[in-house]
Amino acid sequence: MIQNYAIYTKDLAKTMRSLASGLIEKTAESAHAVNEIEKVAERIKQTEELRGLERSPSHFCQ
């Protein structure tokens, strides 16, 4: 019975390491995706600001 418990514990530890590794990988992928989304949002913001300047040329004549 102790042998079965040792095998079970070893398998459980292996499964937990695998799950943790997968979680770390998914977390890194999510962080990368968030970073890419933030870059796109910043580009959109800059584009909107430039469009706003194009619409108001009097801003440059001051």
Long-range contacts, stretch 1-8, CB < 8 angstroms, 24+ apart: none
Neighbouring residues of 53: CB distance < 8 A, sequence distance ≥ 6: 59
Instruction: Say what the pLDDT of residue 60 is.
Output: 55
Give 10-residue mean pLDDT values along the chain (62 residues). 89 96 96 96 94 70 56
Could you tell me the residue ranges of all domains in the chain? Answer: 2-54
